[in-house]
Amino acid sequence: METFLIHGEGDWHGEPFRLRHDQKLFLYRWYEHNAAGWVYKQGMRGRPRGDGKTELLAAVACLEFAGPDQFRRTTPIIHVAAAALKQAGELFSQVQIMLGGQGDTEDRSPLRGLFDVMDTRIDYRDGSPGYIERIAAADSTAQGGKTTLFLADEIHEWRGRAAKVYGVVSSALEKRANARELIITTAGEAKGHMPPTAADTIAWKLYAKGLEQRQDPRKHPRFLFDWAEMEPTRKLDDPAERLAAVLEASGDAADLLWPAQDRVDKWDDPEYLHSDWRRYFGNQWPDQPDDFWLSDRPEAWSECESGDGTIADGAPVMVGVDMALHHDSVAVTLVHPIDDVRRAWQTKVFAAVKGKIDHLEVVEHIRSLATSFRPLGLAYDPRFFELPAMVLEEEGWNVIEVPQSPERMGPACAHVYRQVMAGDIVHDGDPVLAAHVHAGVWREGERGRTLSKRAAMQKGTGHIDALIAGVIATSELDTADVAPQRSLVMMIGGD
């Protein structure tokens, strides 16, 4: 790349292409291989605005089209794409310049004259098979050819028809052995579900997949997730904290492509919303509405992450379940008393599949908890769970009915709020649980204040089931006189 490519449009146009240290580290990972071929089939690199993401993507296209045999396929078919024609043109323009320009106009390109560089396509001038083609996803009618490399720019903007085109082209990769896709993006406009649903954007689905892979590398082993963002606990009213946030998200690009201080100062620019600053310069997905239930200190949940958040086998737990019938999700949250004050939360969420939730799967999961933990009880909302609760009670479970009335839920929600603010609820950083916590808002009523799903999410664009299950389990653990159930303890050989 550095020997044969030049920089595209910008301050360094025509100069020899140079990779930053962080870009080299990414490429070393992207080109890991073994006897079967490339290790990674899919990659996602997330950085703030102005990181040089598009030019890096163009360089990858050139490497796999014009580079050594280790990278170049016998018949490379490379699609470079963005959501709109203008954006696709910007990415393709970088490729055109690197490969000599239209009409061989780039005098400083070492590769000038080797390719026919056209408006939307680049061919080998000697007639060798293969090409690079531009796709504007929103306008494309592509049905997916035998693509070897699919490069997608700023995928957070791929919606509607563009999202369908992504599915078509991505699926077409299965037609070629070792075909791959590489995606670059900045954080999108709003968080989606955890786990994701069909209604979420492509970018959010891939981001959620990356968080899952980061938490457990055994999951999605062929997905390379390279995402940098600011720490969520940064106090951005402090300029020093803003500078640290910029450096965390941008790394080597700061003070090389633009002055970091300029971004720090943008916080006080009246034309910039603070949520936009977090997204554009911190690469952080917006998540807190004005009525967010932890708005007094939005970083409180992140600060509760702890090594103590992992619940060990055999530990006593109160189980909370928030049930649904369909088009929603079900959560089973465990609450473990670490000591007299602190409580560890751990959750499993069951998403609807084709609009339906497998209630039998939920019940079997609850049953399985007795083989791994020491259940103190099962707190549940009687709505939708009355019959399963009766069955579990007959099997020896200590079931505790918790009606979702303001009189019952108001004190429970207030109790958990105080615990989170004090750092007494701890967790292991599970992104699904965090998404449910961050979807909660206060709902004021004549009979008290309770937690609810924010208004914009009432039709299934967010869930708080894990939060509610945690609230009722914590409340019952801290207010009821409970002890491990004899019948269930005997199942796991306890005394």
| 131-136/121-124 β-pairing | antiparallel
Is 288 inside a domain boundary? no
Judge whether residue 456 has pLDDT over 50: no
Answer yes or no: do 351 and 482 share one domain: yes
Q: Which of 227, 247, 275 is the last residue of a domain?
A: 227
Lowest mean pLDDT among 265-269, 291-295, 367-371, 414-418: 291-295
- Is residue 249 within 8 A of residue 281, CB to CB? The reply is yes
Q: What is the mean pLDDT of residues 32-53?
A: 95
Indicate the DSSP class of residue 319: E
Is 116 inside a domain boundary? yes
Answer yes or no: do 70 and 188 share one domain: yes
Is 292 inside a domain boundary? no
pLDDT in tens, 241-293: 999 999 999 999 999 999 999 999 999 987 777 878 999 999 999 865 667 89
Bond preceding residue 270 cis, omega within 30 of 0: no
Q: Which of 200, 227, 254 is the last residue of a domain?
A: 227
Cα gap 201→164, rounded to integer Å: 11
- Stronger pLDDT, 268 or 491, i.e. the higher one: 268
Would you state the structure tokens that stand for residue 8, as one six-digit string? 């595209």
Is 7 inside a domain boundary? no
- Please state the pTM of the whole predicted model: 0.69
Judge whether residue 145 has pLDDT over 50: yes
Judge whether residue 84 has pLDDT over 90: no
Q: What is the mean pLDDT of residues 63-80?
A: 94
Q: Which of 164, 194, 227 is the last residue of a domain?
A: 227
Residue 137: the pLDDT is 64
Judge whether residue 316 has pLDDT over 60: yes
Would you state the structure tokens that stand for residue 35, as one six-digit string? 């006897």
| 186 Rama class: left (phi>0) / alpha (psi -120 to 50) / beta | beta
Cα gap 335→315, rounded to integer Å: 10
| 316-322/329-337 β-pairing | antiparallel
Answer yes or no: do 315 and 462 share one domain: yes
Q: Which residues contact 42 (CB under 8 A, 6 or more apart)?
A: 180, 181, 182, 183, 222, 223, 224
Lowest mean pLDDT among 57-66, 169-178, 229-238, 277-286: 169-178
Number of helices (H) and strands (E), helices first, in the chain?
A: 15, 18
**Per-residue buried b or exposed e for 146-181, using 16+ beta carbons within 10 Å of the residue's own CB:** ebbbbbbbbbbbbbeebbebbeebbebbeebeebbb
The amino acid present at 64, given as its one-letter code, is E
Q: What angle do CA 415, 392, 389 make, to 5 degrees?
A: 55
Alpha helices for 431-482 (secondary structure H) = 431-438, 465-479
**Which single residue is written with the structure tokens 């080998």?**
124
Q: Which residues contact 385 (CB under 8 A, 6 or more apart)?
A: 321, 323
Answer yes or no: do 313 and 401 share one domain: yes
Judge whether residue 123 has pLDDT over 60: yes
Cα gap 401→357, rounded to integer Å: 21
Answer yes or no: do 362 and 450 share one domain: yes
Q: How many domains does the chain have?
A: 2
CATH number at residue 147: 3.40.50.300
What percentage of the chain exceeds 70 in pLDDT?
90
Answer yes or no: do 191 and 309 share one domain: no
- Stronger pLDDT, 271 or 186, i.e. the higher one: 186
- Is residue 163 within 8 A of residue 201, CB to CB? The reply is yes
* Most confidently modeled range among 278-287, 332-341, 378-387: 332-341
Structural domain span for residue 209? 21-227
Would you state the structure tokens that stand for residue 476, as one six-digit string? 């019952």
For the chain, give the mean pLDDT. 88
The total number of residues shown for the chain amounts to 495
CATH number at residue 433: 3.30.420.240
Q: What is the mean pLDDT of residues 305-321?
A: 93
Confidence of residue 400 (pLDDT cuts 50, 70, 90): very high
Confidence of residue 144 (pLDDT cuts 50, 70, 90): low
Q: Dihedral of the CA atoms 193, 195, 200, 201 (nearest 10)? A: 110
DSSP secondary structure letters along 385-435: THHHHHHHHHTT--EEE----HHHHHHHHHHHHHHHHHT-EEB---HHHHH
Answer yes or no: do 197 and 311 share one domain: no
pLDDT in tens, 388-399: 999 999 999 999
